[in-house]
Structure 1
Amino acid sequence: MIRRAAPLLALLLVLLPFVGCAGSGGSDGGRRWRPRPGTAWQWQLSGRIDLDVDVPVYDIDGFENSASTVAALHARGRKVICYINAGAWEDFRPDRNAFPASVRGRGDGWSGERWLDIRRIDVLRPLMAKRLDMCRAKGFDAVEPDLADAYTNRTGFPLTAADQLAYNRMIAGLAHDRGLAVGLKNDLAQIPRLIGDFDFAVNEQCAQYGECAALEPFVRADKAVFHVEYTVPTREFCPQSRRLRLSSMAKRPALGAWREPC
């Protein structure tokens, strides 16, 4: 879903010297799936999943889809990414009551959602671990943790870049401990610090905001960048996407089955 913060390229330039910092590790790094640049994908978070899109990767909602759906996609030769919200509380999820009121902040602009106080790793780590256990139990190959750039938004908490780094690395470590690949969602400014912790990237609207070049570290590391645009037509962003080897397509904001790939 559309998750935009203020442009972050200025901060990215500050962090560039940190390229190559150590990753989060994980005992199965050699066996974990890692999609390569240019891999085609489908991202569907609403409506009945269209199982017949001819792409090797699907990204679907972890709560709303069953193990049988994941198995059906595997039977068609697809890898499947588990979408979860790692940065906001959602009042429509079955685990909503497990999140204490003290970690719920301002609304994030989406109905029924509130930013989480990501400084409270003591509270959020076991809750996110259970969500990732769900992804693993359903057979997913990877996870897309959304809202990974809370510190750039008005959350109701005094979050810092360091808080976000610690939280994102925690999420990546939990995923890797379960044999799941993990994607960095947006958070362009911290790519140089997090490139070693994440197996691929998921980006919204980098062409619209002139930020796609900030994703090049993933491509240089032979890791896919799964990218969508909502308002820019494919004729305008696809030439750059091909040059940068991004896995790009146009989608409608509801993220139904419709797609227009490059």
Structure 2
Amino acid sequence: MRRSASIVVVGLLALSLAGCALPGAEVQLPPAGAVPDYQLGGSYDPADGVGIVGRDRSSDPADGVYSICYVNGFQTQPGELDEWPEELLLAGDDGPVFDPDWPDEALLDTSTPEKRESIAAIVGPWIEGCATAGFQAVEFDNLDTYSRSDGALSLDDNLALATRFVEIAHDAGLAAGQKNAAEDARALHDQAGFDFAVVEECAAYRECGAYTEVYGEHVIDIEYTDELPRPFEDVCADPETPRSVVLRDRLLRIAGREGHVFETCD
């Protein structure tokens, strides 16, 4: 997601960090260059020096840091398929179409204005709930479902829904973040209105520039140990790598558990 810079008065900053988002307030962007942590696998106290934390919408925001709320806006979450009306799931020959990489996540049908508005009616309260909980921003995952829909969905379909999500986020006082979808960054920023980007493995796939050309320093990159093609210190030294970057284990394990990895650039 892409974000445009904004200035926030000290009073609003204090209120938002205290967990009090103001409806319609000017949004606050993630601090440029701050150390991030990505905690979708479970919440834990951020390490010293961390300035940005991403957590699922079902979790509370991290205290005292800029907190981003994860929302799966274009696919169902694992275990939530039955909570969605059948008519809002993209239908294939054998029933709902599932993400091949996440076979417990069905694609939402964004193909008509009526279906998009019905999806927004469900996701909208989640976004507003992120603001009520005290998050400063929201990231929307799976913006690129059209690319695995076998032509049933289009980029324009998803842009239209993304634009609605961004409007809801901004009305709630939240910055809106693009998640991945490097090839669509310019359209998502310019047409849908995204303020910043949360990206996975842009250094591994050599696509960080596609994000930083659009969002400048407001790009947060998460690299993973199992797919890192070069030493992390080389990633850190690469001028193409965003300043806000962290190396995590693929399962995003809680600190203290076996396999947990959290490494940042010096």
The bucket for the TM-score relative to the shorter chain is 0.7 to 0.9
Q: Is the 8 A contact 1:218 1:225 kept in 2?
A: no
Which residues of structure 1 form unaligned runs of 5+? 1-26
Cα distance in 2 for residues equivalent to 1:226 and 1:35: 9
**What is the deviation of 1:243?**
4.8
Question: Is it true that 1:253 corresponds to 2:246 in the alignment?
Answer: no
Question: Is it true that 1:205 corresponds to 2:201 in the alignment?
Answer: yes
Cα distance in 2 for residues equivalent to 1:247 and 1:216: 11
Q: What aligned pairs does 1:149-160 form with structure 2 within 5 A after superposition?
A: 149-153=144-148, 155=149, 158-160=152-154
Per the normalisation by structure 1, the TM-score is: 0.76
Q: Give the match for residue 85 of structure 2.
A: 100
Cα RMSD (Å): 2.5
Per the normalisation by structure 2, the TM-score is: 0.75
Q: Give the match for residue 4 of structure 1.
A: none
Structure scoring higher RCO (CA < 8 A, sep ≥ 6) equals: 1
Q: Compared with structure 1, are the counterparts of its residues 256 and 164 closer, same or farther at alpha carbon in structure 2 (3 Å cutoff)?
A: same
Cα distance in 2 for residues equivalent to 1:204 and 1:163: 23
- Aligned partner of 1:213: which letter? G
**What is the deviation of 1:129?**
0.5
Q: What aligned pairs does 1:92-241 form with structure 2 within 5 A after superposition?
A: 92-93=79-80, 97-104=82-89, 105-108=96-99, 109-119=101-111, 120-153=115-148, 155=149, 158-196=152-190, 197-220=193-216, 223-230=217-224, 231-232=227-228, 233-240=231-238
Runs of 4+ off more than 6 Å: none
Cα distance in 1 for residues equivalent to 2:212 and 2:66: 23
Cα distance in 1 for residues equivalent to 2:215 and 2:159: 21
Cα distance in 2 for residues equivalent to 1:156 and 1:173: 28
Deviations 1:188-211 (A, max 9, x none): 122112224112101111122221
Which residues of structure 2 form unaligned runs of 5+? 1-22, 90-95, 255-260
**What is the deviation of 1:83?**
0.9
Q: Is the 8 A contact 2:209 2:240 kept in 1?
A: no
**What is the deviation of 1:245?**
3.7
Q: Compared with structure 1, are the counterparts of its residues 158 and 181 closer, same or farther at alpha carbon in structure 2 (3 Å cutoff)?
A: same
- Aligned partner of 1:234: which letter? F
**What is the deviation of 1:259?**
1.3
- Aligned partner of 1:171: which letter? F
Q: Give the match for residue 54 of structure 2.
A: 59
Cα distance in 1 for residues equivalent to 2:197 and 2:153: 23
Deviations 1:72-128 (A, max 9, x none): x33xx21211111111112524xx544211222322132531111122212201011
- Aligned partner of 1:226: which letter? I
Q: Give the match for residue 20 of structure 2.
A: none
Aligned residues: 223
Q: What aligned pairs does 1:1-12 form with structure 2 within 5 A after superposition?
A: none
Q: Give the match for residue 35 of structure 2.
A: 40
Cα distance in 1 for residues equivalent to 2:241 and 2:202: 12
**What is the deviation of 1:246?**
3.4
Identical columns (%) = 29
Cα distance in 2 for residues equivalent to 1:182 and 1:237: 26
Q: Is the 8 A contact 1:37 1:245 kept in 2?
A: no
**What is the deviation of 1:43?**
0.5
**What is the deviation of 1:164?**
1.9
Cα distance in 1 for residues equivalent to 2:129 and 2:24: 19
Q: Give the match for residue 7 of structure 2.
A: none
Cα distance in 2 for residues equivalent to 1:243 and 1:217: 10
